[in-house]
Amino acid sequence: MRILGLETTCDETAAAVVSCDGEGRGHILANEVLSQIAEHAAYGGVVPEIAARAHVESLDLLVARALARAGLDLSDMDGIAAAAGPGLIGGVIVGLTAAKALALVAGKPFIAVNHLEGHALTARLTDSVAFPYLLLLASGGHTQLVCVRGVGDYIRLGTTIDDAIGEAFDKTAKMLGLPYPGGPEVEKEALRGDPERFNLPRPMLRRDVPDFSLSGLKTAVRLEAERIAPLSATDVADLCASFQAAVVDVIVDRSRVALRAFHAAAGNPTALVVAGGVAANQMIRAALQRFAAEAGLRLVTPPPALCTDNAAMIAWAGLERLRLDLTDDLTAPARARWPLDSMRA
Ligand code: ATP
Ligand code: MG
Ligand code: FE
């Protein structure tokens, strides 16, 4: 089985071809990603109108490149998948419409994939992970702890009541004069900073519902920065290290509480899976590795390039759905909002 997948929900234009072998294991035959970061950098964040136009300009080229790299033709595909949301609606419409047109022309099944389900199932492409598993999805737009019971079958255990974790990294970076996207920059600065210099809050610590709140932490960084301004390079590094240490404590604490909720809802998870752009952070990975070992759980984190937005995850989610006969017709809508736990297989 081979699927072409398209991703255009945010600021990455991407096309990929993924297959599965006789044992059901996934293989990435092509994974083309064009980041628009340079086009949005001057604005310190993603500008929806610029994003949509950039997707229009490059998507057909990326599809051609992905098929060429895979050495395959549209007619070799068993289905065409696109992320139908959630995301910036202008961009979503570009990828969704392109995939529908390709499916129609080639006479192939079409699959409308939830972008979050793409992140949620990536671990089953890169590792063999059985259901049910505990998922921490942490990206620029989302922060959720999820019980993944099957394809299309999700229980959201906790989420953020304000900023996403990636967003908190991005806003902290911006405040400190670091470039966008802020996650990798803050991580780099934190490496040479003192994580104990600033005593920052750990919001929600020990609350018995595994929700997150990050805006207070971000504000605390701003107040400290204003208090000691002008900032030296050491100040910036220390603020980044202190911020990251607080985030790590919160993530581990929230994951611990989510594991308890998971037991009540679905028994024992087969693994702890971390996905989304924030999963690229080495400090967060290491802390979760320690937590997982304590809890007797296997930690599975897809490689960083498959944690940030890409089309291989969309193609793979499409493949998982197609093999369960979960296809969509060409009226499938583009959705700005599409909560994972609202889907049913
Ligand atoms: P979503 O998937 O929710 O629609 P998105 O497309 O912005 O949002 P991703 O591409 O999965 O999300 O992740 C990007 C986010 O991950 C950004 O906020 C970025 O700062 C953050 N990020 C990337 N690398 C790191 C890192 N090393 N440490 C912390 N955060 C990181
Ligand atoms: Mg992105
Ligand atoms: Fe994403």
pTM score, two decimals? 0.94
Distance 167 CA to ligand 1 centre (A): 8
pLDDT tens digit at each of 345 positions of the chain: 999 999 999 999 999 999 999 999 999 999 999 988 888 888 877 889 998 999 999 999 999 999 999 999 999 999 999 999 999 999 999 999 999 999 999 999 999 999 999 999 999 999 999 999 999 999 999 999 999 999 999 999 999 999 999 999 999 999 999 998 899 999 999 999 999 999 999 999 999 999 999 999 999 999 999 999 999 999 999 999 999 999 999 999 999 999 999 999 999 999 999 999 999 999 999 999 999 999 999 999 999 999 999 999 999 999 999 999 999 999 999 999 999 989 865
Task: Name which residue sits closest to atom 20 of ligand 1, judged by CA.
Answer: 183
Pocket test of ligand 1: the residue of 175, 288, 309, 338 to mutate, having most ligand atoms within 8 Å of its CB, is: 309
Task: Name which residue sits closest to atom 5 of ligand 1, judged by CA.
Answer: 140
Q: Report the atom number in ligand 1 closest to the C-alpha of 10.
A: 6
Task: Name which residue sits closest to atom 31 of ligand 1, judged by CA.
Answer: 183
Q: How far apart are CA 7 and CA 32, in angstroms?
A: 10
86 alpha carbon, closest ligand: 1
Pocket test of ligand 1: the residue of 11, 35, 137, 139 to mutate, having most ligand atoms within 8 Å of its CB, is: 139
Distance 27 CA to ligand 2 centre (A): 23
Q: What is the pLDDT of residue 37?
A: 82
Distance 199 CA to ligand 3 centre (A): 31
**Residue 282, amino acid:** Q
Q: Report the atom number in ligand 1 closest to the C-alpha of 282.
A: 27
Q: What is the pLDDT of residue 105?
A: 97
Q: Report the atom number in ligand 1 closest to the C-alpha of 86.
A: 4
Ligand 1 pocket by C-beta < 6 Å: which residues?
A: 9-10, 87, 115, 139-142, 166-167, 169-170, 181-184, 187, 276-278, 280-281, 308-309
Which of 70, 150, 48 lies closest to 315 in space, CA to CA?
Answer: 70
342 marked as binding residue:
no
311 alpha carbon, closest ligand: 3
Distance 179 CA to ligand 2 centre (A): 15
Q: What is the pLDDT of residue 344?
A: 67
Q: What is the pLDDT of residue 343?
A: 84
119 marked as binding residue:
yes
Pocket test of ligand 1: the residue of 13, 34, 278, 340 to mutate, having most ligand atoms within 8 Å of its CB, is: 278
